[in-house]
């Protein structure tokens, strides 16, 4: 599984800590830990995982910043140190930076400066293979035809609307991949060509093999005929995803429905989150529960598995409560039933967010992507509002 960026905060002022935690919480794929009693200098928390970033304050009435920096730099030589300070005296800033600090953040902290400083560290850590740059999100239907392809394709399109994101969509539903139909894109080069040239496969080869869609996303299609699928093995999938994660900020994968085959296992292992798509019918929920158990059996941690419910209709035979009780899991997101929007999008070969952006499912998927990008901002909202507009 890709490791998240770990940020350790050693700051005395609890209000400043809180503010920083809020700002960092807006950045995806990041974990925080708080250090007390100069723990950083003692290195005593290193067993909890070495942080990628250590944020310390610069107190005028406490120990000198230079005395604190030296042991921290010695105990955590690979971590980037950020200093938060109200002191804007240029000579002081220069001296602190010279002491090996990566970022000097003047209070009140500017969100953009903090974000780009964090992303720069992520990039450096990714380039030395310490951490992955991109997040892999995979989608698998618990039973055939529940909407994994519709959701994966439109999620990737919604992600590509953010100009700061480079997004890839892989159709890894190898036997019957139809993601290209939804994009009206039929590439000459598919996953089977990549595998045939496996000996030459590196980042630039993969980049050249991807096909650009008008939405901005880059697409890798499933093989053109089912016979070509046999050559694709788990190790190929794993290597392709390793490379993709280095090139792209977000990688979306449409998986073969229901199956725990060799390729899907590699996809699950590489995924930040595996979205298991179900609807509110009894057979789909049964299968969903079965697939969750199978995933756990093969060692996928349940924190990486999220259930999303598609084609939600209020007042159906089963309530959301029934679904969640049966699965013993809270649904991460609810996608509305939007027959008109989906049919029009498929017929036109235009993803919802490209040519049908006013449709309910298009708006919902845009919000789903917002939640993925900034988990804190949704505050419990899961895509559909209940009575009186409350989040359900």
Ligand X SMILES: Nc1ncnc2c1ncn2[C@@H]1O[C@H](COP(=O)(O)OP(=O)(O)OP(=O)(O)O)[C@@H](O)[C@H]1O
361 binds, among ligand X, Mg ion, none (CB under 5 to 8 A by kind): ligand X
Which residues, numbered 242-271, are part of the site for Mg ion (CB under 5 A)? none
Q: How far is the CB of 345 from ligand X (least distance, A)?
A: 9
239, 311, 371, 382: which one contacts ligand X (CB under 6 A)? 311
Nearer to Mg ion, 109 or 352 (CB): 352
310 binds ligand X (CB under 6 A): yes
337 binds, among Mg ion, ligand X, none (CB under 5 to 8 A by kind): ligand X
Residue 291 contacts ligand X per CB under 6 A: no
Please, what is the minimum distance in Å from the beta carbon of residue 101 to ligand X?
A: 49
Among 144, 226, 283, 355, binds ligand X (CB under 6 A): 144
Does residue 141 belong to the site contacting ligand X (CB under 6 A)? Answer: yes
Which lies closer to ligand X via its Cβ, residue 41 or residue 383? 383
By CB under 6 A, residue 361 contacts ligand X: yes
CA dihedral 291, 296, 300, 305 (to 10 degrees): 50
* Residue 171 binding ligand X, by CB under 6 A: no
- At its nearest, how many Å lie between ligand X and the CB of residue 176? 6
Q: Which is nearer to Mg ion, 65 or 253 (CB)?
A: 253
333 beta partners: 308
Instruction: Report the residue number, 69 or 222, with the smaller CB distance to ligand X.
Output: 222
Q: What is the 3 state secondary structure string of the chain?
A: CCCCEEEEEECCCHHHHHHHHHHHHCCCCEEEEECCCCHHHHCCCHHHCCCCEEEEECCCCCCCHHHHHHHHHHHCCCCEEEEEECCCCHHHHHHHHHCCCCEEEECCCCHHHHHHHHHHHHHHHHHCCCCCCCEEEEEEECCCCCCHHHHHHHHHHHHHCCCCCCEEEEEECCCCCCHHHHHCCCCCCEHHHHHHCHHHCCHHHHHHHCEECCCCCEEEECCCCHHHHHHCCHHHHHHHHHHHHHHCCEEEEEECCCCCCHHHHHHHHHCCEEEEEECCCHHHHHHHHHHHHHHHHCCCCHHHEEEEEEEECCCCCCCHHHHHHHHCCCEEEEEECCHHHHHHHHHHCCCHHHHCCCCHHHHHHHHHHHHHHCHHHHCCCCCCECHHHCEC
Whole-angstrom distance, CA of residue 303 vs CA of residue 291: 15
Among 135, 149, 250, 269, binds Mg ion (CB under 5 A): 149
Between 85 and 364, CB nearer to ligand X = 364
Question: Where does this chain touch ligand X (CB under 6 A) — which range of 44-52, 58-66, 313-321, 339-347?
Answer: 339-347
Report, in Å, the least distance between residue 142 CB and ligand X.
9
Among the listed residues 147, 180, 351, 383, the single contact to ligand X using CB under 6 A? 147
In angstroms, how far is CA 89 from the centroid of its own chain? 39
339 binds, among ligand X, Mg ion, none (CB under 5 to 8 A by kind): ligand X
| Closest distance to Mg ion from the beta carbon of 307 (Å) | 17
The CB-of-220 to Mg ion minimum distance in angstroms stands at: 15
Q: Which is nearer to ligand X, 211 or 310 (CB)?
A: 310
326 and 116 Cβ atoms separated by less than 8 Å: no
Q: Which is nearer to ligand X, 18 or 340 (CB)?
A: 340
Distance from C-alpha of 94 to C-alpha of 84, rounded to nearest angstrom: 14
Is residue 362 a contact point for ligand X (CB under 6 A)? no
Residue 356: name its binding partner from Mg ion, ligand X, none (Cβ under 5 to 8 Å by kind): none
Q: How far apart are CA 250 and CA 292, in angstroms?
A: 24
Which residue number, 85 or 142, has a Cβ lying nearer to ligand X? 142
The binding site for Mg ion (CB under 5 A) comprises 149, 173
The binding site for ligand X (CB under 6 A) comprises 141, 144-150, 173, 257, 310-311, 335, 337-339, 342, 346, 361
């Amino acid at each position: 599984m890709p490791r998240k960026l770990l940020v350790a905060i050693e700051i005395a002022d609890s209000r400043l800590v809180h503010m920083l935690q809020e700002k960092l919480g807006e950045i995806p794929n990041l974990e925080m830990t708080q250090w007390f009693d100069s723990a950083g200098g003692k290195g005593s928390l290193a067993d909890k995982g070495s942080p990628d970033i250590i944020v310390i304050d610069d107190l005028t009435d406490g120990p000198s910043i230079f005395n604190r920096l030296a042991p921290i730099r010695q105990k955590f030589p690979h971590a980037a140190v950020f200093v938060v300070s109200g002191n804007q005296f240029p000579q002081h800033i220069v001296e602190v930076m010279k002491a090996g600090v990566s970022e000097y953040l003047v209070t009140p902290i500017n969100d953009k400066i903090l974000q780009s400083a964090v992303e720069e560290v992520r990039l450096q850590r990714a380039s030395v293979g310490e951490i992955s740059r991109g997040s892999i999100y995979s989608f698998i239907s618990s039973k055939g035809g529940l909407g994994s392809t519709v959701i994966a394709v439109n999620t990737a399109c919604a992600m590509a609307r953010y100009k700061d994101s480079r997004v890839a969509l892989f159709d890894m539903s190898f036997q019957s991949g139809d993601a290209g139909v939804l994009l009206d894109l039929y590439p000459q080069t598919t996953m089977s060509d990549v595998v045939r040239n496996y000996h030459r496969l590196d980042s630039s080869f993969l980049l050249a093999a991807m096909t650009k869609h008008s939405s901005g996303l880059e697409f890798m299609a499933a093989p053109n005929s089912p016979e070509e699928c046999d050559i694709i093995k788990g190790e190929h999938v794993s290597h392709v995803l390793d490379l993709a994660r280095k090139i792209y900020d977000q990688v979306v994968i449409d998986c073969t429905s229901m199956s725990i085959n060799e390729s899907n296992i590699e996809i699950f292992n590489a995924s930040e989150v595996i979205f298991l798509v179900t609807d509110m019918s009894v057979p789909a929920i049964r299968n969903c529960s079965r697939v969750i158990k199978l995933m756990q059996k093969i060692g996928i941690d349940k924190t990486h598995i999220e259930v999303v419910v598609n084609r939600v209709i209020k007042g159906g035979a089963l309530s959301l409560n029934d679904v969640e009780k049966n699965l013993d899991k809270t649904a991460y997101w609810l996608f509305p039933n939007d027959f008109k929007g989906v049919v029009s999008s498929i017929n036109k070969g235009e993803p919802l967010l490209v040519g049908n952006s006013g449709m309910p499912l298009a708006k919902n998927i845009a919000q789903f992507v917002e939640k993925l990008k900034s988990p804190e901002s949704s505050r419990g909202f899961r895509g559909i509002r209940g009575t009186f507009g409350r989040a359900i």
